[in-house]
Structure 1
Amino acid sequence: MNFKRFLKWLAPVSLTAILILCTIVQGWSAPTAAQTQLHWYGQSAFKLTTPTGKVILIDPWITNPVNPNGKTDLATLNRADLILVTHGHFDHVGDAMTIAKKTNAPLVSTADLGQALVESGYPKNLVTLDTQGNFGGEISLLNNEVKVAFIPAIHSSVIASDGSPAKYAGNPGGFLVTVQNGPTIYHTGDTDVFADMALIPRFRKVTLMLACIGDRFTMGPQRAATAVGYVKPDRVIPMHFGTFPALTGTPAAFAAELKQQRVGSRLQVMKVGETIRL
């Protein structure tokens, strides 16, 4: 076979091979990268699932009045890798002790709150220096997959249970949770707006802010919108509203204030029991 005849023979073979290859490539898609997921149980209770499947609970009052599936959710929650609690009030400690005893999840909190919870029945072996801190500090957890910074809050913090006198539980706070290959989430805890919130984005860009808006016991929609303006997150999700009649702040009023104050962050209102991907 001379060279010209070889080329004539090769051309259709190569074309066929290319067409087959193109067909295979078009039918194949690369695996979708795992994403961080956020689930809202109502009030200030969230479940954060990292791209590798680690489960982080924040203020886990799962059986709160606005969660119709609370008892089932608590019964079927078989994994937690960390439990974060912002302060000592019952609607934030919530079901933390029950979950800790069930899952052996370490407690992440300020040291004063951790000690107060141990005295109130939280398993002592799950409250260690490895997961305790204070405002201005940051700790790396879960093999450096997650960083948690302790943010102050303007509120109060006591533990009262079984009719016993209220016990001081340290200063209240919030958390800045940074997920490796994922978002940075600021959970405000219960707080009023304060000007130092404007310092948060100087140290780390906030992807998502979970902001209390209920009024009466925390900032309401107007002051919460100002807080979002300070933090400048990409998105904001309202929380801590509507659980009790006294919590009169609404997402609609919050949306109006964000617009009035020309805050550029995107508002996303979650439904109780909803899970979103970040």
Structure 2
Amino acid sequence: MKVSYHGHSVVKVKTSTHTILIDPFISGNEACDLDANKVEPDVILLTHGHNDHVGDTVEIAKRTGALVVAPNELALYLGQKGISTHPMHIGGARTFEFGHVKFTQAFHGSSYTEEDGSIIYTGMPGGILLTVEGKTIYHLGDTALFTDLKMYGEMNDIDLAFITIGDNFTMGPEDAMIAAEWIKAKVVVPVHYNTFPVIEQNPDDFVQKVKNGKARKMEIGEELVL
């Protein structure tokens, strides 16, 4: 299985049978190296409804027929746009053909802003525990630090985690370092930084400060083999 990072919170997981995209904010994301007109996922997983996470979901799903798995209200909203969705909710888990998905808590907001400026409430935000081919990836989504992260670390053998460090809208580096310790992942990768001026951070500094040397910065387009 190959896992790659594509700027902001965009993650691609390529297994022996499926390609999975998480939070595909591609168009308008200068940090992203993917082409929304060419990427070919079988599945799209969404942590919440903000535009910088939903991104190109509808266009990609219409073109490819990808299944979109998302928190309930977001899935229902996107389903009205003519794509295939599967609604889930916090604490819920399901085994799909491509792998096992469980939604965790995330302390954030979730809404989608339409082109006319209207705002659509899209339910609770979440994190995603994705278990595929015997490995578990934890995408925390946009979140503040909260103590239940300790529980997720104790309950799951997490191989790779993606943790927000941008601050202002999510955890900053200091809180993310605590989160990294609590979830006990073998490898921690910082995400959700430097896309906009308000979330500019130094990922190298974060990586150096995380205990036990288990954090690493992933370059745009870089792949890890799990």
Shorter-normalised TM-score: what interval? over 0.9
Identity, in percent, stands at: 36
- Hey, what's the Cα distance between the residues in 2 that align with 1:220 and 1:201? 20
Say which SS state the counterpart of residue 42 (structure 1) adopts: coil
Shift of the alpha carbon at 1:257? 3.6
**Corresponding residue number in structure 2 for 1:27:** none
Which of the numbers 195, 214, 217 marks the counterpart of 1:266?
214
**1:1-278 counterparts in 2 under 5 A?**
36-50=1-15, 52-63=16-27, 64-67=29-32, 69-70=33-34, 73-77=35-39, 79-119=40-80, 121=81, 123-124=82-83, 126-127=84-85, 131-142=86-97, 145-181=98-134, 183-258=135-210, 263-264=211-212, 266-278=214-226
Identify the range of structure 1 (41-50 vs 158-167) with the bigger mean alpha-carbon deviation.
Answer: 158-167
* Deviation string, structure 1 residues 143-201 (Cα, Å, up to 9, x no partner): xx5100001101101011212311111011110000123x2000011001100011113
Q: Is the 8 A contact 2:207 2:213 kept in 1?
A: no
Q: Is the 8 A contact 1:214 1:250 kept in 2?
A: no
* Deviation string, structure 1 residues 13-53 (Cα, Å, up to 9, x no partner): xxxxxxxxxxxxxxxxxxxxxxx101211100111011x23
Structure number with larger C-alpha Rg? 1
Say which SS state the counterpart of residue 44 (structure 2) adopts: strand
Q: Is the 8 A contact 2:114 2:120 kept in 1?
A: no
Shift of the alpha carbon at 1:60? 0.6
Shift of the alpha carbon at 1:265? 5.6
TM-score, length basis structure 1: 0.77
- Hey, what's the Cα distance between the residues in 1 that align with 2:193 and 2:24? 16
TM-score, length basis structure 2: 0.94
Q: Is the 8 A contact 1:84 1:108 kept in 2?
A: yes
Q: Is the 8 A contact 2:106 2:127 kept in 1?
A: yes
Higher relative contact order (CA closer than 8 Å, sequence separation 6+)? 2
**Corresponding residue number in structure 2 for 1:26:** none
Say which SS state the counterpart of residue 178 (structure 2) adopts: helix
Partner AA of 1:140 in structure 2: T
Calculate the aligned-residue CA RMSD, in Å.
Answer: 1.5
Q: What stretches of structure 2 of length at least 5 have no aligned partner?
A: none
Shift of the alpha carbon at 1:74? 2.1
Q: Is the 8 A contact 1:116 1:159 kept in 2?
A: no
Give every structure 1 segment of 4 or more consecutive aligned residues whose post-TM-superposition deviation is greater than 6 Å.
none
- Hey, what's the Cα distance between the residues in 1 that align with 2:197 and 2:100? 36
- Hey, what's the Cα distance between the residues in 2 that align with 1:216 and 1:45? 19
**Corresponding residue number in structure 2 for 1:9:** none
Say which SS state the counterpart of residue 253 (structure 1) adopts: helix
Q: Is the 8 A contact 2:207 2:216 kept in 1?
A: no
Q: What stretches of structure 1 of length at least 5 have no aligned partner?
A: 1-35
Q: Is the 8 A contact 2:73 2:122 kept in 1?
A: yes
Shift of the alpha carbon at 1:75? 2.5
Partner AA of 2:94 in structure 1: I
Q: Is the 8 A contact 1:216 1:246 kept in 2?
A: yes
Shift of the alpha carbon at 1:275? 2.0
